[in-house]
Amino acid sequence: MPISGPAQNFPITTAIALIAPEELLSRKVRLGFDYWRMLCGTRCFPARGDVNPREIAGILTNMALLKVIDGGSDFQYRIVGDHAGRGYRADLNGRSIREVAAEMPRAAENWLRLYRQVTESGKPMAVRVSVGHDAREVNFTKAEAVFLPLGETEDRVDHLICFVEHELKA
């Protein structure tokens, strides 16, 4: 029996596709990636202190800044822009992934896997997401995001900066 009604616009399951950051379609997410790349200069990644909010004022609502805890055993949301936060059904500001996992276990599991990969590799990662109709933890149907390492030294990532654009549910 075919699905009818509003749910037919959503895939049955959530799909997360890794893409090269150069393939980003969202203008705001791409601006975030380009800004991070500019800050890198000749380094593998910039330091947290290199990020100047005034320089990215037009995309701050799409940004999240996370602190890496114990080398990646957990992550704490330090700053979550309005647009970035609206995609989820929980307040993320100031909370760790472990705390958020109680309310949003599937989303937290996905974030933890992605954040750890960026922390361990020291390399950017971009994703394109299509949300299944069974994903009740989120408030979007599609999203594109880039996860970018930050650190004082080339051998240790101590923060992540992320830029995301959601297609919010109606």
Residue 77 in this model has a pLDDT that exceeds 70: yes
Q: What value, to the nearest 5°, has the Cα angle with vertex 118 and ends 64 and 143? A: 50
What number is the average pLDDT over the span 94-99?
A: 95
Residue 113: pLDDT over 50 = yes
Q: Is residue 5 part of a domain?
A: no
Mean pLDDT of 91-96: 92
* Model confidence at 11: pLDDT above 60: no
Residue 155 lies in a domain: yes
For residue 113, which amino acid is it? R
What pLDDT does 10 receive? 44
The SS3 call for residue 150 is strand
Whether 1 is covered by a domain: the verdict is no
Position 112 in a domain: yes
Give the pair of three-digit tokens for residue 144.
């594109």
Residue 2 lies in a domain: no
The CA–CA distances, whole Å, from 71 to 95, 133, 146 equal 17, 34, 20
- 113 part of a folded domain: yes
Residue 125 lies in a domain: yes
- The reply to whether 4 falls in a domain is no
- Write out the DSSP string of 11-80: -SS-EEEEE-GGG---HHHHHHHHHHHHHHTTSSS--GGG--GGGGGGGGGGEEEEEEEGGGTEEEEEEE
pLDDT band at 93 (very low <50, low <70, confident <90, very high): very high
Query: In this structure, are residues 141 and 10 in contact, taking their beta carbons and an 8 Å threshold?
Result: yes
Measured between alpha carbons, how far is 112 from 158 in angstroms, rounded to an integer?
15
Number of domains in the chain: 1
Helix (H) or strand (E) holding 140: strand 140-150
The residue segments making up the domain with residue 136 are 13-168
Question: What is the domain-level CATH number for residue 44?
Answer: 3.30.450.20
**Mean pLDDT of the region 5-26:** 75
Cα-based distances in Å from 32 to 116, 144, 155, 162: 20, 12, 23, 8
3-state secondary structure (DSSP) of residue 168: strand
Q: What is the pLDDT of residue 112?
A: 95
Q: Is the pLDDT of residue 66 over 60?
A: yes
Predicted local distance difference test score (pLDDT) of residue 47: 97
Q: Are 129 and 15 in contact (CB under 8 A)?
A: yes
